[in-house]
A and B are shown apart, each in its own frame.
Chain A
Amino acid sequence: MNRKNNNLAGEGIDYTVVWLYGILVSIGVLCIFMVEYKTNTNWLATFLGGKTNYSKQLIFGGICALAATFILLTDSKIFTAFANLSYLLGILLMLATFVLGKNINGSKSWIPLAGGFNLQPAELCKIFTSLAIAKFISRQEIDFTNIKSQIVAGLIALTPAALSILQHELGLALVYLSLLIAMYREGLPAQFLIIGSCFGLLALATLIVERDALSITLTILAAFIIFLAYRQVRKKQRLVTIAAILSIWILCIGVQRYVVPYVFNNVLECYQSTRIYSMVGKDYDCSLNKKSNEKVTGKAARKPDDYNVRQSKIAIGSGGFFGRGFLKGTQTRGKYVPEQDTDFIFTSLGEAFGFVGCTIFLGLYLYFLFRIVRIAERQRSAFSRIYAYCVASILFFHIAVNVSMTIGLFPIVGITLPLISYGGSSLLTFTVLIFIMLRLDADRQMVLR
């Protein structure tokens, strides 16, 4: 996966990242090979044949190498210049899917291209959004502590997210939330993250704890805090404080008793609710779900279960400490894990190389992320820094969520493992993301706007 660079373009490029990129893509191809391998096949022939997924991934790798080289040869100014325009293009493409879209695995987010390849604009839009946010925040007149600019930045991120939800790509929509991390680095108040996490916790508690028990707990907690605050706070402010605490209490109770069930029953699809419930080890009653009830008239809704997660956990768990060895995974060879070459690619690795392999692999990723953070911090240009942080955030989110869902820590959402999962769109997106960053980094002496 090494790529040729001419001297001009090769200057100042962070080769550690390039190497890491190459290694990860190679691991990816091997993982796909493990998934698809059948005994008694001539692997060399199938690798070159272009029929199998690993062979296709190799071709995608080649295309990505070309794209990467192309990016490295461009002038980095182009990215600042075209940031907004590309964002617009991305949104347009996403809108276009509603017209031209092709249905793959239940999500109508693909635009068919020539030669049997399909393009997923939502994937590419990550790049454009990152660029746009970097461009917006890095503008001289923007003070990011200002609430108004925070809202604008939020809108930039949320527009493609909203479109993704409309395309039934919940996972991709969630990815845009990860840009909060980048924004946080740029001065987004920590309260956003904290309050966000608190509500996340509350939602989780709603799932796990009995409804009334949780209400009582919250009430006791509120009473306790009021009791403490009553003594601490000066008389004048007591009323205000108590009112604030009470309103928070009402908000929490409201979320817990009404909002969360409403979201599960009316906003999410039945299968999504089931996945989330199954993650905490509970069954979701689909008859409560409005959307599934609407469908009942059409065809009987198949009872969704947690087959995927179960098989995925079995595959990873069966790897043990040292794994079963390359191509020796019984679960992988028996195709027990669905979608194993895309979203569940981590299972093949977990089975073949065990805990040791997984740890090394995750270590590689973590090193990759840290390297990007380091690159970000050494930029003189705000645009480059923010963009690098966006890349790190997106990568982090993808890795964390994808791995978590294969090991049962996160409900299943369609999110790929960066550079590893089979799929041209995904690979190309990450390649472009990373190499734009490398191009910007190579020109870090310049102050770009």
Chain B
Amino acid sequence: MSAFNQNRSRIVQIIFIGAFILITLQLINLQVFSTKYKMAADNNAFYRKVIYPDRGIIFDRKKRAILENTISYDLVVIPAESKGTDTLALCALLNIDTATYKKRMRDLIFKNGAVKPSVFESLLTTENFARLNENMYRFPGFTLSERSVRSYPYDCGAAVLGYTAEVDTGFLRRHKDEGYEMGDYFGTTGLENSYEKILMGQRGIKRFIRDNKGRIQGPWEKGEFDTAAVAGKNLYSSIDVELQQLGEKLMQNKVGSIVAIDPKTGGILCMVSAPTYNPNYLTGNQRKKHLVDMMYFDPRKPLLNRTVSTTYSPGSTFKTLVGIIGMAEGVIDDQMTVSCGGSYLGCGRRMGCHAAGTFTLKPAISKSCNSYFAVAFRRILDNAKVNNRDITLGLFNEYAYSFGLGKKLGVDLPSERMGNIPTSKYYQKIFGKNWQACNIISNSIGQGEITTTLTQLANVMAIIANKGWYYLPHLIDSVEGGDDYEMLARFKVKQRTKNIAESIFEEVHEGMQGTMEFGTGAYAKVPGINVCGKTGTVENAYRGESLKDHAFFGAFAPRENPRIAIAVMCENAGFGATSAAPIASLLIEKYLRDSIAGPERKAKIEQLANMNLIPPQMKRLMTKQDSTKKVTLKKSIAKK
């Protein structure tokens, strides 16, 4: 009977084999041919933790750290484990109410889940940290986690050093292949931005295994494939921090800027943009508030770096250049005299003047005679040899370009402006084909369409000091361990102006020294040092309202062996000699002598520091803002 169906045992076996073959085929499909499952598994299970290296430190020229790292603490919580926390005590310590506590918890759980650690309060103040640290046992589920934060030990150089901020989506889009991720910090402004590549270092990656709820289970393969973080390289800057501090002190209550350059190297010694702010304001947990305050509510715009990002008419400081170009082109010589009766009338329109008399080049510089340079400028443009103003202006501009004007200098700071050296094309548009030298006579005294940044002006002073050559002004001299990205190479290339005889510079030096001794800059003498300087006073207006002149001062010292070239400008400070010149003189003394000698000079520091030169239109806005603040404050108090 059993033999009857024996052949069916074969069929049963075939069914078994068939099913197993089917299964094997699917296994081949899943395990051998599909790669997506492997990727899905990695997405499931790996948690990549980025280990942030310390950013590089920036030192000043005497190897003092002016931008370094300190440790700050975040209060981190795992919401699921925070039951039993003394909420009231915690709220009291952090100075928040329980409603805020609950809201924050809800938000964190919503964003990051209940079992993963999230930052409850970031960047604790040292005081809060100390208080919390003692009481941590009362707050299960909460931990304090370290994090490296930028710090500015000298509280100065905000505009130069810059700050870091968290990357945003726009930044990520622009820097797709540079490995940034959400939550990273990058240098937004200043040197932090320019040298981001060097300062950021190399991030390390640790891989962790995580479970189905996102909890970390431990390192993957005992950390065999993790990469270590490499700290950012340190930078050595040419800044002299004491000079910087003094500059910032002198620029208190003023709007303006200072740039001092070492003419020998092009290294910037100090770079002050006033009003400034304590850079440490932008590191703590109040960072956002401070940033918004300064960015949107302060009419003085403290975040603007006025040394490179604003352009001004250089005023009379530009006359030195007009003189040099005139001499170089041979249209004027040291014998030429111009007599001035207090104004220049050669163009039909009166151009006022501070000094009256008869001048050759030297005293014309010293006394800042408008008429002389108007004549010189006309001679340059109306050069009979060429007899074409388009060409002569082009020639004039070539000189100006070779002095680093009208183009970006290439300072190692972001958002540098180029300034403006107008071309004949521009004037043809305005005045027609046959424009006259008189049309643009204001340019001769550094007004009109000519604009420069203060750094360019300081650089012009350095070029005059060097008699025709310069290095691109820069803040960073060297990178610890080598300049891998060749970011500093261009600062080592000697730049030359158009060919100008040394004697011409001697002549100008003489005139500039005269400025200090008997001319417009006499207020700014530095006892015992031969300073060459040039004042500048620039007319300006704001919304049709004629305002006090901008005060400019450009100088270098000592004349024999120039070690510092400096340009100072104070917005709406009036005549250049009363504010900008003495500030420059104090800085020159400080840099060359390492200290300010004598009680009289020291008193001068205080006097200048206390001098309030905030432009009236800004003052008005500030008072308005303060009063609205008061009103809103009152309102909010009334509501309570």
Contact = CB atoms under 8 A, between A and B. Distances in A.
Interface residues of A, number: 49
Interface string B25-40: 0111011101011101
Contacts of A359: 24, 27
B16 A396 contact: yes
A370 B220 CA distance: 42
A382 B40 contact: no
B27 A366 contact: no
Nearest to A315: B41
B4 interface: yes
- Of listed A181, A186, A320, A404, residue having the most chain B CB within 10 A: A320
Interface stretch (B171-179, B205-213, B249-257, B294-302): B205-213
Contact of A362 (B23, B32, B218): B23
B209 A370 contact: no
A245 interface: no
A316 B30 contact: yes
Nearest to A365: B20
10 contacts: A184-B8, A317-B36, A330-B209, A334-B211, A335-B211, A366-B20, A377-B9, A392-B12, A396-B16, A407-B23
Contact of B15 (A181, A187, A335, A377): A181
A185 interface: yes
Interface stretch (A228-236, A350-358, A426-434): A350-358
B31 A358 contact: yes
Interface in B12-70: 12-13, 15-17, 19-20, 22-24, 26-28, 30-32, 34, 36-38, 40-42, 44-46
B26 A369 contact: no
B211 A355 contact: no
A407 B29 CA distance: 10
Contact of B23 (A39, A370, A389, A409): A409
B40 A333 contact: no
A379 to B, nearest CB: 8
Given A355-B27, A358-B27, A385-B2, A331 B44 contact: yes
B1 interface: yes
B546 interface: no
B387 interface: no
A337 to B, nearest CB: 9
B169 interface: no
Contact of A331 (B17, B27, B45): B45
A376 interface: yes
Nearest to B31: A355
B95 interface: no
B8 A355 contact: no
Contacts, number: 127
Contacts of B209: 330, 333-334
B217 interface: yes
Contacts of B46: 330
A403 B23 CA distance: 7
A4 B445 CA distance: 114
Given A331-B41, A400-B23, A354 B217 contact: no
A370 B27 contact: no
Interface of A: 38-40, 181, 184-187, 311, 313-321, 330-331, 333-336, 350-351, 354-355, 358-359, 362, 365-366, 369-370, 373, 376-377, 382, 385, 389, 392, 396, 400, 403-404, 407-409
A271 B218 CA distance: 35
Given A315-B41, A330-B44, A186 B5 contact: yes
B434 interface: no
B27 A316 contact: yes
Contacts of A350: 27, 31
Contacts of A369: 16
Nearest to A396: B16
- Of listed B9, B11, B17, residue having the most chain A CB within 10 A: B9
B6 interface: yes
A334 B210 contact: yes
Contact of A313 (B8, B16, B24, B37): B37
A389 B11 CA distance: 13
Contact of B37 (A40, A314, A370): A314
A315 B44 CA distance: 10
Interface of B: 1-2, 4-6, 8-9, 11-13, 15-17, 19-20, 22-24, 26-28, 30-32, 34, 36-38, 40-42, 44-46, 209-212, 217-218, 220
A320 B31 contact: yes
A41 to B, nearest CB: 12
Contact of B217 (A333, A396, A404): A333
Contacts of A408: 26, 30
B6 A317 contact: no
A422 to B, nearest CB: 18
B13 A370 contact: yes
Nearest to B15: A181
A187 B24 contact: no
A440 B220 CA distance: 51
Contacts of A38: 217
A330 B13 contact: no
Contacts of A392: 12
A366 B2 contact: no
Nearest to A319: B31
B45 A334 contact: yes
Contacts of A389: 12
Contacts of B44: 311, 314, 330-331, 334, 336
A330 B218 contact: no
A184 B12 contact: yes
B174 to A, nearest CB: 34
Given A318-B37, A334-B212, 18 more contacts: A39-B217, A40-B218, A181-B12, A316-B27, A318-B40, A333-B45, A335-B211, A335-B212, A351-B41, A354-B31, A358-B31, A362-B24, A366-B16, A373-B16, A377-B6, A403-B23, A409-B22, A409-B23
Contacts of A403: 23
B212 A336 contact: yes
Nearest to B18: A400
Contacts of A320: 31-32, 38
Contacts of A407: 23, 26-27, 30
Enumerate the 5 nearest inter-chain pairs by beta-carbon distance, A residue then B residue, closest first: A317-B37, A318-B41, A330-B45, A355-B31, A317-B30
Nearest to A338: B212
Contacts of B36: 317
Contacts of B211: 333-336
Contacts of A321: 31-32
Contacts of A319: 31
Contacts of B12: 181, 184-185, 373, 389, 392
B32 A185 contact: no
B17 A366 contact: yes
A166 B2 CA distance: 37
A185 B31 contact: no
B303 to A, nearest CB: 47
A265 to B, nearest CB: 29
B226 to A, nearest CB: 16
